[in-house]
Amino acid sequence: MKLDVLIGLAIGVFAFLMVMGYNVFPVGLLFVTAYVVWKFVLSRQIVKNGNGVAIATSGVDFEDIGGQSVAKKELQEALDFLLYSDRMKALGIRPLKGILLSGPTGTGKTLLAKAAARYTNSAFLSVSGSEFVEMYAGVGAERVRGLFRRAREMVRKEKKSSAIIFIDEMDILGAKRGSNVSHHEYDQTLNQLLIEMDGLKVDQGPHVLVMAATNRPEALDAALLRPGRFDRQVKVDLPDKEGRLAILQIHTKNKPLAEEVSLEEIAHETFGFSGAHLENVTNEAAILALREEAEEINKRHLHEAVEKVMLGEKLDRKPTSEELRRIAIHESGHAILAETVRPNSVSQISIRSRGNALGYVRHYPKDDLYLYTQVMLEEQIMVALAGALAEEQILGTRSTGAAGDYEQALNLVEKMLLAGMSSLGVTDVSLLNADKRQAVTKDILAELEERTMKIIENNQQSLLGITEILVAEETLTGDTLRTYLKNAA
349 and 388, same domain (yes or no): yes
Number of domains in the chain: 4
pLDDT above 50 (res 281): yes
pLDDT at site 40: 47
Instruction: Report how far residue 199's alpha carbon sits from residue 320's, in angstroms, rounded to the nearest whole number.
Output: 69
First to last CA, the chain: 83
pLDDT at site 68: 86
- Choose, from 331, 391, 392, 449, the residue flagged as catalytic: 331
pLDDT at site 367: 62
The mean pLDDT value for 159-169 works out to 88
Q: Contact 364/338 with Cβ under 8 angstroms?
A: no
CA 422 to chain centre: 34
Residue 89 lies in a domain: yes
* Res. 14 pLDDT band, cuts 50 70 90: low
147 and 23, same domain (yes or no): no
Instruction: Report how far residue 432's alpha carbon sits from residue 434's, in angstroms, rounded to the nearest whole number.
Output: 6
The mean pLDDT value for 22-46 works out to 54
User: Quick check: pTM over 0.85?
Assistant: no
The mean pLDDT value for 264-272 works out to 87
pLDDT at site 65: 87
Is 331 among the residues known to form the active site? Answer: yes
The mean pLDDT value for 414-437 works out to 89
Residue 94 lies in a domain: yes
The mean pLDDT value for 469-483 works out to 90
96 and 190, same domain (yes or no): yes
Q: What is the CATH number of the domain that holds 464?
A: 1.20.58.760
Give the three-class secondary structure for 165: strand
Residue 49 lies in a domain: no
Which helix (H) or strand (E) is 482 found in, with range?
helix 478-488
Query: Over pLDDT 70: what percentage of the chain?
Result: 83
pLDDT at site 50: 36
Instruction: Report how far residue 121's alpha carbon sits from residue 98's, in angstroms, rounded to the nearest whole number.
Output: 17
**Three-state secondary structure along 348-400?**
EEECCCECCECCEEEECCCCCCCCCCHHHHHHHHHHHHHHHHHHHHHHCCCCH
* Res. 366 pLDDT band, cuts 50 70 90: low
Residue 75 lies in a domain: yes
Boundary of a domain, candidates 215, 235, 255: 235
pLDDT above 80 (res 155): yes
125 and 167, same domain (yes or no): yes
pLDDT above 60 (res 53): no
Helices 374-395 & 434-458, crossing angle to 10 degrees?
60
Q: Contact 208/152 with Cβ under 8 angstroms?
A: yes
Residue 171 lies in a domain: yes
The mean pLDDT value for 381-409 works out to 94
pLDDT at site 78: 83
User: pLDDT per residue over 246-267, tens digit each?
Assistant: 999 999 999 999 999 999 989 9
Residues spanned by the domain of 66: 54-235
Residue 342 lies in a domain: yes
**Higher-confidence residue: 337 or 78?**
337
The mean pLDDT value for 342-362 works out to 86
pLDDT above 90 (res 310): no
Lowest-pLDDT range of 21-35, 214-228, 327-341: 21-35
pLDDT above 80 (res 237): yes
**Higher-confidence residue: 186 or 289?**
289
205 and 251, same domain (yes or no): no
12 and 155, same domain (yes or no): no
pLDDT at site 219: 86
* Res. 94 pLDDT band, cuts 50 70 90: confident
231 and 245, same domain (yes or no): no
Boundary of a domain, candidates 311, 338, 367: 311
123 and 150, same domain (yes or no): yes
pLDDT at site 337: 95
348 and 436, same domain (yes or no): yes
pLDDT at site 7: 61
pLDDT, averaged across the chain: 83
Nearest to 166 by CA among 202, 105, 122, 215: 122
196 and 303, same domain (yes or no): no
Q: What is the CATH number of the domain that holds 211?
A: 3.40.50.300
User: pLDDT per residue over 134-148, tens digit each?
Assistant: 655 567 788 888 888
User: pLDDT per residue over 189-234, tens digit each?
Assistant: 888 888 888 877 655 567 888 999 998 888 888 888 888 888 888 9
Lowest-pLDDT range of 28-32, 316-320, 335-339, 395-399: 28-32
Q: What is the CATH number of the domain that holds 279?
A: 1.10.8.60
pLDDT at site 355: 72
The mean pLDDT value for 170-176 works out to 84
Residue 351 lies in a domain: yes
Q: Which residues does 84 contact at the CB level (< 8 Å), separation at least 6?
A: none
pLDDT above 80 (res 369): no
pLDDT above 80 (res 306): yes
Q: How many CB atoms lie within 10 A of CB 448?
A: 21
Residue 26 lies in a domain: yes
263 and 412, same domain (yes or no): no
117 and 192, same domain (yes or no): yes
Boundary of a domain, candidates 200, 217, 235: 235
**Higher-confidence residue: 14 or 393?**
393
DSSP state string for 293-349: T-SSB-HHHHHHHHHHHHH-SB------HHHHHHHHHHHHHHHHHHHHHSTT-EEEE
